[in-house]
Amino acid sequence: MKPHWQTWAEELKQEFPRAHSALLPLLHRIQTEEGWLSPETLADVATLLDLPVTTVESVASFYTLFYKRPVGRRVIHVCVGLPCALKGADALMHRLEAHLGIRQGQTTPDGAVSLFEAECLAACDLAPVAQVNLRYRGPVPPEAFEALLKEDE
Ligand code: FES
């Protein structure tokens, strides 16, 4: 059975003169729909865009916001860049890990939360900074970690 997003790929191929140009918007759209990019999905994308699968895999791997395995319904990124580190990012991460019972890079067994480190999120004036499903939160002092788990998106 063909992937349901094949129509998007065909539309993007018409919109962009080069298949490479359609790759990022297509991967983004698929991830928004499916939550992550499986190896099978990447292979299908390569076929649909007439690109080498290694090209598609390398692009998906380069951008850390493309998930190569399933993630939780709430994805938390904690910035560990220097300004955030100086303002307690490590303690924030440790509190989240202890509370959730997972390490950074993991997802809770119930699929509720995934926790990731991030390099500078370009909001240093809000340090320490986190993102919840890509929405900025900051400053988030370590003792306020539970707010990241309760806030609406
Ligand atoms: S170092 Fe955290 S936002 Fe820049």
Residues 84-138 pLDDT 10s = 999 999 999 999 999 999 999 999 999 999 999 999 999 999 999 999 999 999 9
The Å distance, Cα 75 to ligand 1 centre, comes to 18
Strands (DSSP E) contained in 52-129 are: 74-79, 113-118
pTM for the model:
0.84
Q: What is the largest CA-CA distance in the chain?
A: 51
| Ligand 1 pocket mutation pick from 77, 86, 93, 121 by most atoms within 8 angstroms of CB | 121
| Closest ligand 1 atom number to CA of residue 83 | 1
pLDDT at 17: 82
Residues whose beta carbon lies within 6 Å of some atom of ligand 1: 79, 81-84, 120-124, 127, 129
Domain at 6-62: CATH code: 1.10.10.1590
Q: Is the pLDDT of residue 1 over 80?
A: no
User: Is the CATH number 3.40.30.10 carried by domain 74-150?
Assistant: yes
* Residue of 92, 86, 85 lying closest to 140 (CA atoms): 92
φ, ψ for residue 93, nearest 5 deg: -60, -45
Q: Do domains 6-62 and 74-150 have the same CATH topology?
A: no
- Sequence ranges of the domains in the chain: 6-62, 74-150
Least confident of 5-9, 17-21, 114-118, 140-144: 5-9
Tell me: the pLDDT tens digits for 42-82?
A: 999 999 999 999 999 999 999 988 999 999 999 999 999 99
- Protein residue with least CA distance to atom 1, ligand 1: 81
